[in-house]
Structure formats: C-alpha cells, structure tokens
C-alpha cells in the first residue's frame, strides 16, 4: 500500500505551480523580447517610418529631375534652361556678368 504524506502532496503541488510559472515566464519573456515580440514590432515600425521618409524624399527628387528633364525635351526647349546649362557647363556668359568662382577642396 502506497501512502502519501502531507509534505509530499505539498511539494508536488509546489513543483507543479513553479513549473507553470516558469513556462508562463518563458513565453512572456520571448513574447516581449523574441524575434516576433513587442520590441521587434517597435523596431520594425521605426524602420518602416525611416524608409517611408526616405522614399518620399527620393520621390520629390525624382519629380524635380523629371521636371528639369522635360524642360530639355526637343519639342519644348526652355531658353532659360539652355542659358543656365551653357553658363554652367561651357563657361559662357555676357561681358557685363559678374562671375564668382567657388574653390572646391
């Protein structure tokens, strides 16, 4: 006949509860710090915010470049754009123009 003492039942219940607490703690820790946890979600949202801002800046830059490119199209040449490019790239200018040279280091 197997008899159980009061202390055996107490320690069995204690071990069961401590095991359950350890298991819950394990999943709670990894739910917060794990690869798909709360901290990872916050880092992902921050990365999304940064990349969205970068995308918007690149879109604005592309729009500006497309606008400048359309001014150089053969069917709609803009005289101001041609003059600006000639002055900048070819060094042309008028006799009464004031020219300032920037020194590049």
Tens digit of each residue's pLDDT (9 = 90 or more) over 78-96: 777 777 777 778 877 777 8
- Calculate the alpha carbon distances from 48 to 45, 55, 76 in Å: 5, 10, 40
Choose from 5-14, 15-24, 26-35 the range with maximum mean pLDDT. 15-24
26 belongs to a structural domain: yes
54 belongs to a structural domain: yes
Residue 105 confidence (pLDDT) above 90:
no
Q: What's the total number of domains in the chain?
A: 1
| Whether pTM exceeds 0.85 | no
Structural domain boundaries, residue 36: 8-90
Contact (Cβ atoms closer than 8 angstroms) between residue 54 and residue 60: no
82 belongs to a structural domain: yes
Residue 1 confidence (pLDDT) above 60:
no
- 28-73 residue pLDDT tens: 999 998 888 899 999 999 999 999 999 999 999 999 999 888 877 7
34 belongs to a structural domain: yes
Sign of CA dihedral 35, 36, 37, 40: positive
97 belongs to a structural domain: no
28 belongs to a structural domain: yes
CA dihedral of 82, 86, 88, 94, whole degrees rounded to 10: -110
Tell which residue, 104, 76, 99, 103, has the closest CA to residue 87: 99
73 belongs to a structural domain: yes
What is the model's pLDDT at position 9? Answer: 87
Tell which residue, 95, 92, 71, has the closest CA to residue 83: 92
3 belongs to a structural domain: no
């Amino acid at each position: 006949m197997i008899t159980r003492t009061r202390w055996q039942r107490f320690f069995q219940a204690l071990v069961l509860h401590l095991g359950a607490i350890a298991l819950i703690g394990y999943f709670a820790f990894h739910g917060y710090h794990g690869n798909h946890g709360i901290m990872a979600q916050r880092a992902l949202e921050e990365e999304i915010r940064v990349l969205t801002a970068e995308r918007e800046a690149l879109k604005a830059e592309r729009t500006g470049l497309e606008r400048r490119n359309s001014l150089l199209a053969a069917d709609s040449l803009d005289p101001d754009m041609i003059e600006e490019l000639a002055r900048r790239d070819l060094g042309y200018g008028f006799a009464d123009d004031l020219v300032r040279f920037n020194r590049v280091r």
